[in-house]
Amino acid sequence: MKKIAVIGLGYVGLPLAVEFAKNRPVCGFDIKQPRIDELNAGHDPTLEVSDEELKEVLSMNPEEVKKNQKGLYLSSKLEDIADCQIYIVAVPTPTDKNKRPDLTPLIKASESVGKVLKKGDIVVYESTVYPGATEEDCVPVLEKFSGFKMNDQFYVGYSPERINPGDKVHTLTSIKKVTSGSTPEIGVEVDALYKEIIKAGTHLAPSIKVAEAAKVIENSQRDINIAFVNELSKIFNKMGIDTLEVLEAAGTKWNFLPFRPGLVGGHCIGVDPFYLAQKAEEVGYHPEIILAGRRMNDSMGAYVAGEVVKILLKKGVMVKGAKALMLGITFKENCPDIRNTRALDIYHELRDFGMEVDIFDPWADKAEVHHEYGVDFLTEYPAEVKYSAIVLAVAHDAFKTIDMKKHRETGAIIYDVKGILPREVVDARL
């Protein structure tokens, strides 16, 4: 049985490594030793894998994994993955400050794999990229550092991740997986590999480029649909119409798509469209709808802050120096993921208006938020503090139990970005 190395142990890589380790020998590799240490201690701070699941497959002894032909060994040392035959690369593919694709983590991972690649090995990429990136950007790196040629001494596959952080229903094994290979035969082998763990089944794409394109349009489509309802929200607000009431009415038709307005962050929807746009520009096409959707969604934080300030001014509240409480800093509800969170757009915009802004989030990690964004927040709810404005930015379940009527009684205005609070207790919602 072939041994698997999973490169990158984040939201995507760790669940993969754990699932494969139930029936195969697996080495999980990550360049961050602190990440290895926390996982070896039996806990995943991202909460994508439970402590029980992790401890079930985890081994501190690589020889034990080799002997049992199953189990998970974790390492930050390249030599520990040298005896593997299948390498699955699951590293981040972010954008830079100019919103251009940053393939640095992917290229560095390819360099590492290239150094240990052997004849007959297969390298499967899971990271979201633009069509052509695997064969045009990654394979040359593998060939350079291994001295081998693709489809001669080694082979490549692409199977895009479909992890939904924080979702305990649509998990790795319950989401259909797209697979592909650099030859028809390798495509079949890669497909069979994933069928071992994916209960929902697989779809073998005819080429790597088709699989890459399928992944990048999944989130671009969602981005554009959310941008549409965000624009509707701005229009209906000017008309004095409640957007959510409109969407509920329209949703009674069987083929109406149930998208809702909101902030669009995270590592997928807020990033992937730029990968497709970049490739489109390279082949001579300017993607108007894709980029328009991105501009609309990136504008929503400033829009919400502006609406909050308007409400305060209409009530005669002096905005400069007023205290505001923002509920939530993660990019989505009920998970600790802060990657590309747009809630911070509201925070910074309110501060630019001169307001004093507290943030409360029971899910996020204080050290991580401070390291990534230089922002501090409260981990205990400030029930006794008097605020001029409360902005619910993230739909954590914990926020539904807050007594908003008490805050209204002390003069606070309530703005519900996510539309989860009773209509009668909010002054406005997106």
First to last CA, the chain: 53
Is the Cβ–Cβ distance between 360 and 326 less than 8 Å? yes
- Give the SS3 label for residue 266: coil
C-alpha torsion 403→406→411→412, nearest 10? -10
For 269, the token pair is 């929807």
H/E run at residue 300: helix 300-314
**Do 340 and 265 form a contact (C-beta atoms < 8 A)?**
yes
Alpha-carbon torsion angle 403, 404, 410, 415, nearest 10: 160
Q: Are 176 and 201 in contact (CB under 8 A)?
A: yes
**Residues facing 203 on adjacent strands:** 178
Radius of gyration of the chain (CA): 24
Instruction: List the alpha helices (DSSP H) in 240-271.
Output: 243-250
Tell me which of 84, 138, 268, 335 is the catalytic residue: 268
Question: What is the C-alpha separation between 47 and 58, in angstroms, rounded?
Answer: 16
SS3 289: helix
Distances (CA, A) of 261 to 165, 233, 242, 247, 399: 19, 7, 12, 10, 19
Strand order in the sheet with 71-75: 71-75, 25-29, 4-7, 86-89, 122-125, 155-158
Is 268 one of the annotated active-site residues of the chain?
yes
| CA nearest to 175, candidates 416, 12, 57, 329 | 12
Helices (H), 158-271: 184-195, 208-239, 243-250
Contact 182, 155 (CB under 8 A): yes
Query: In angstroms, rounded to a whole number, what is the distance separating the alpha carbons of residues 232 and 257?
Result: 14
Q: Name 28's bridge partners.
A: 6, 74
Which sequence positions are flagged as catalytic? 268
